Amino acid sequence: MTSGSAKRARMEETSLAAPVQATPTIDIPSDAEPAAPRALPGSPPTGVPIPEVRPVEAPAAGRRRKSVARRPSSHRATADESIYSEGGSENPFNDKALIRRLLDGCILSDVVERIDRADPEQRAWDTLGSFLEIGHQLFAYVEASGRMRRDLLRAEERCQDEVARLQAKTAEVAALREALERERQDREEERRAQEEERRSLEESARKAEAEVAHLTEQTPVLVSEARTLADMLQKKEELEKMVETLRQSWSGDGGDHPMLEGAGPP
C-alpha cells in the first residue's frame, strides 16, 4: 500500500470512527471552560471574544471536498461529458487515479496524523470550540449590524436636523427677500413721487420765468403810462391852483364868476 493510500485509509477511519466513539462517552463537567478565545484578525470589532480558527478543521474541509468529489452531480457530469464529447477528448475528471492524486495534494498529512493520534474527547472539545466560534461570529455579526443600524439612524437624525435647519434658513431668506422687495417698491414709488414733484416745480418755474419775461417786456410801457399819469396829475394840480386863485380874486370883487360856478376839485 502506498503512502497516499495509507493516508486516505487513516482519514476515512478517523472520519467514520470519531463521531461514534466521541458522542456516547463525552462527560462534560459543569465547571469546564473552553480555552480563552482570541479575536480573529478579520472578525468585526466587537466586545464579544471570538476564538481563533484551529488547524483541526482543515481535514474536515478536505473530507467535505472529498465527499463532494466522490458524488458529482448528474447534471454537471452530463454537461462536462457533452463539452468533452464535442472536443473529441475524454473527460479527465472521470479518471479516479487523477482525482486521488489531486486529493492527496490537498490533504495535510501532519494534520491527519495529529487527528488520528488525538484523544476522542479532545476532538469533541475541538468540535465544540468550532461550534462556539461560529456562534460567536454570528453574534458578532449581529452586534455589528445593530451598531451599523444605530449609526445609520443617528446619521439620519443628523441629516433631518440639518434639513430642518436649512429649511428654516430658506424661510428666513425668503422673508428677507420679500422685505427687500417691498422696500424696493416703496423706494420706487417715492422716486416716482419725487420725479412728479420735480416736474411740477420745473413747470411752475417755467411759468414764473414766462411771467417775469412778460412783465419785463411790459415794464417800459408801464413806465411810460406811469409818467403820463404823473404829468396829467401835475397838470391837474396846476389847474386846480389856477382855479382857486381866480376864485379868490373874483371873490374880492363881489361874487363868483359865472364860469367858475361849480368849479372845484373833481
How does DSSP assign 42-108, residue by residue? TS---SS--PPPPTTHHHHHHHHHHHHHHS--HHHHHHHHHHHHHHTS--GGG-HHHHHHHHHHHS-
* Full residue range of the structural domain in which residue 53 is found: 3-22+32-151
The C-alpha atoms of residue 230 and residue 12 are separated, in whole angstroms, by 160
The answer to whether residue 69 sits within a structural domain is yes
The answer to whether residue 245 sits within a structural domain is no
The answer to whether residue 178 sits within a structural domain is no
- Three-state DSSP at 153 gives helix
Burial of residue 52 (number of CB atoms within 10 Å: 0-12, 13-18, 19+)? middle
Number of domains the chain is built from: 1
Backbone angles phi, psi at 205, to 5 degrees: -65, -40
The answer to whether residue 221 sits within a structural domain is no
pLDDT value for 86: 56
Contact 40, 50 (CB under 8 A): yes
**Average pLDDT by stretches of 10, the chain with 266 residues:** 49 44 40 42 42 44 45 50 59 84 80 76 80 88 94 96 95 95 94 92 91 86 86 88 84 57 50
Say if pTM beats, i.e. exceeds, 0.75: no
The answer to whether residue 174 sits within a structural domain is no
Conformational region of residue 255, where left means phi above 0, alpha means psi within -120 to 50, and beta covers everything else: left
Contact 11, 63 (CB under 8 A): yes
pLDDT value for 69: 45
The answer to whether residue 56 sits within a structural domain is yes
The answer to whether residue 256 sits within a structural domain is no
The answer to whether residue 11 sits within a structural domain is yes
The C-alpha atoms of residue 20 and residue 72 are separated, in whole angstroms, by 27
